[in-house]
Chain A
Amino acid sequence: MDLFVSGVVESFKLCTDPLLMLLLLGGCIWGAIVGALPGVGATLGIGILLPFTFKMSPVYAIALFMSINVANSFGNSIPAILMGVPGSASAVLTAIDGYALHKQGKSGLALGVTYFSSVFGQFISVFFFLAMVIPLSGLAYVFLAPEMAALYFFGMCAIISITGDNILKGLAAGAFGFAVSLIGRDPVGAVTRFAYHPELRGGIDPIPVTMGLLAMSELFRSMRQSFRWEELVGSFSAKFPSVKDLVRAMPRILIGTGIGSVLGAIPGLTGTTSAVISYQQSKLWSKHPEEYGHGSIEGVAANESAQNAAQAGEMVPTFGLGIPASTPSVMILAAVLMHGFIPGPQMIRHAPQLLYAASGGMLASTFILALIGWPMSIYTLKLMTLNRQLILVGCVALTLVGVFTLNNSTFNCFLLVLFGMIGYFMRRYGYSVAGATIAVILGPGLESYLRRGLLLLDGDWWAFMSRPWTGLIFALSLGFLIYASFGTIRLARRAAAIRRQAVEALRGSASSDQRGEGGQM
C-alpha cells in the first residue's frame, strides 16, 4: 500500500516538472503524428527517438516513450474515423463505426467520443497499472536464477506466440534472435564466441539490432510503394459532442477501461484484443446492437477506452516482470537496457524511479492530451498532405544518424541496415520480428540465469524444473506455444482452403475457355 501511495504521489510530482512537461508535450505531438500516419506507429515512433535519449536521464527517457505510446493510441483513431484507415490494428473497429459516423456528417461526435474515451481510459488505467505492478516487484525476493531463466523464456514464447500466425516461423525468428545474442562474450565463462570482427568481441550492441529489426525493416518495407496519403483525404467539419452524448457513452467507457487495463496486462492479449473484447461485450449488452458496424457511439467508446487503457496494462508485465506484452514495449525494454537497467522483478525494487517515470509519464501525457487532444484531432489530418516519400526518407536518415551518435560508430549503422534488411525479409515472409528482437534482448539473460541456476543446483535438471515458480512459468510457456500451434493449424487450413478455391477458379476458367473455343469452331 505504501508503494502504491508513493507511486501515485511521485507520479503527480513528476507532472510539476516544467522541463519534463515540455518534453512530454513534444512526445505527445510526435506520438499522435506517428499514430495518425498509416503504417508508422508507436514502435517506429519510439525507435526513431531512441538514440536521441541516450544522453538523457532515464526518468525523462522512459516518460517520453510513455507519452509517445499514449498519444499513439489516441492518434491512430483519427485516420480511422476520417478516412476509414486505422493507424494501427487496435483502431480497426473504430474505423468501422467511426468512419460510418463521419459519412453521416457526425465527425465531431465520433472524434469527441474518441477523445473523451481515450483520456478517461488512460487516466484510470494508470492507477490500475500501479496497483498491479507493485505486487509483482515482491517476486524479486522469491525469484532466483532458475525462476529468472523461466521468466525470460516465457517472455520469448509469449511474444513469439502473439506476433505471428505461424508458430514454426515464430520459433525460427526467436532462435535467430537468440543466435545473434550469442555473439561476443559468454556471460558465464567469458569465452569469446563468433567474434570474427574486432567490433564483435564485446558482443553486438542490441540497440542497432532492435532498431533494425523493428523500425528500419518497416521503413524499408513501406518504401516498396510510392503513393500520396492525401489521396485518401476529404474535407469535414467537427463540433464537440454534447454532454448528453458523452453521458450515453460513459458506461461503455468504464467497462472498456476495466477490460483494457486488466487484459492488456496479460502477455499475448494486446490492445487490439482488449479493444475487440470490449466492443463485443458492449454489443452484447447494448439496447441498440443493430447500430454496431453502422455508426455506434457505444462501439467507438468501448473500443477506444479499452485500447487506450491497455497501454498502461501492457506496461505491467514490461516493468513488473521484464516481459514485454507488445511490440512497442519491446522497444521500451530495449531503452531500459540501453540506460543500464536489467529487466525483471528486481528492477522496480532497485530502481523505483523507473516505475515513477512510467506512471508519471502516462499520467502527464493524459493531462496534456486532455488539453491538446481535441484541436489535434482536427489538425492532424493536415499531416496527410505531407509528402509520404520524403517523410519515409527522413525517418530512415534520422534513424541512421541516431544510431551513429550512440558510439560515433559507422559499424553500428551497418548493423542497423543489415538487420533492417533481415527484418524486411522476415516481415515479407511471415517471421516475427518482435520475437527475434526480444530474443536478442533477453537471450544473454536467459543463458546466464539458466547456466547459473544449474550451477547452483549442481547440474540437477529435475531440481531446476521442479521448483514451484520455475515449473509453473515453464508450463505457461508451453501453454502459449500450444495455443499458438492452434493458430498455425488454422493458418494451414485457411491456406489449404485458399488453394482449393484457386484451383476451382482455374478449372472454371479453363472449362469456359474450352466452351468458348468449341463455340467459335
Chain B
Amino acid sequence: MAEGAKTASGGTKENISQEDKEKASWEKLAITMDKRSDLAVSLFIVLVGVLMLIAARDIETGLMPDQITSRGMPDITGLFLVIVGVVLAARQLLHWSELPGHLVPEEGQEDEKGYPATWVRAFGIMLLSVLWGWLLKPLGFLIATPLYLFVSSWVMGERSWGSIIAFSVIFTASIWVIFGPVLGIRFPLGPLSHLALSLGLIH
C-alpha cells in the first residue's frame, strides 16, 4: 500500500478496512519477519566470525603442532562464519526494496495465530532470570526465588494476587523440599543461613 494513500486516508471507514484487509492478507501470506532484525542477525554472525579470527591470533600452536594446530579450527570456523554471514546479509539486501515496510516472508518459528505477541514480555523474563542468578547467593534461595516467581508471573500478565502469591510460595517450598531432603542438594540461604543454623535446619 502506497504511503501517500495511507497517510492521506484521513481515517475513512473504507480506507481503514482496506488497510486491515491488506494487513490480514500479509499475515495470511506469512509476511511477518522483520528484515531489519534478520539483517542484524546476519551481521552479528559476521562480527562473531571476525572476532574469532582476531582472537585466534593469540592462540599458541603448541610445541609439537599437528597439521591443523590449535589455531586451525578457530580460523576455519571464523572464516566460515564470516562467509556465511556475508552471504545471508547480501541475500537480504538483494531483496530489500521488493516489499514496502519492514516485513518479509517468515523463515523462523511463527507465533500462535490470533494472539498478540510482544518481545517485551520475553525480554523481561530473560532479564529477571539474570537477576535471579545474580541475587541467588546474596539473598538466598528462599527470598530470591519467590520474588522472581512473583515478578515474572506479573510480567506474564497474571493479575490475581492470590494466585501469584500462592504459586510463588508453593513452588519455592516444593523445590526446597524435593532438592533438599529428597535429593540432598543445598541451596544458598543468604541472610537466613544464621536462622536456619540456629533452628537446626542445616548443619
Contacts and interface: CB of A to CB of B under 8 A. Distances in A.
Contact of A427 (B2, B109, B112, B167): B109
A397 B84 contact: no
A510 B1 contact: yes
B115 A172 contact: no
Grouping DSSP codes into helix (H, G, I), strand (E, B) and loop, the B interface class, with mixed when no group exceeds half, is helix
A225 interface: yes
Given A491-B107, A503-B98, A510 B2 contact: yes
A187 to B, nearest CB: 10
A413 B38 contact: no
Interface string B101-139: 000110111011001111101100110011011101100
A436 to B, nearest CB: 12
A486 B157 CA distance: 43
Given A191-B59, A414-B130, A225 B105 contact: no
B142 interface: no
Chain B interface size range: 35 or more
A103 B55 CA distance: 61
Contact of A397 (B1, B52, B149, B187): B149
A166 to B, nearest CB: 6
Contact of A220 (B98, B122, B132, B185): B122
Contact of B67 (A454, A491, A506): A454
B50 interface: no
A30 interface: no
Interface residues of A, number: 76
B136 A404 contact: yes
Contacts of A376: none
Contacts of A459: 66-67
A314 interface: no
A4 interface: no
Interface stretch (A112-120, A123-131, A416-424): A416-424
Interface stretch (A90-98, A238-246, A465-473, A494-502): A494-502
A509 B18 contact: yes
Interface string A384-401: 000101101110111011
B175 A193 contact: no
Interface in A478-521: 491, 494-495, 498-499, 501-503, 505-506, 509-510, 512-513, 516
30 contacts: A169-B107, A178-B77, A182-B74, A189-B69, A191-B61, A223-B121, A226-B121, A226-B157, A387-B158, A389-B153, A389-B158, A390-B153, A390-B158, A397-B152, A398-B175, A400-B129, A400-B133, A401-B145, A413-B132, A413-B136, A414-B130, A430-B108, A431-B108, A455-B66, A491-B107, A495-B105, A505-B26, A506-B2, A509-B1, A509-B21
Given A499-B104, A506-B1, 15 more contacts: A172-B84, A182-B74, A182-B77, A226-B115, A226-B157, A397-B145, A397-B149, A410-B136, A417-B133, A420-B129, A427-B108, A429-B33, A502-B29, A506-B2, A513-B15
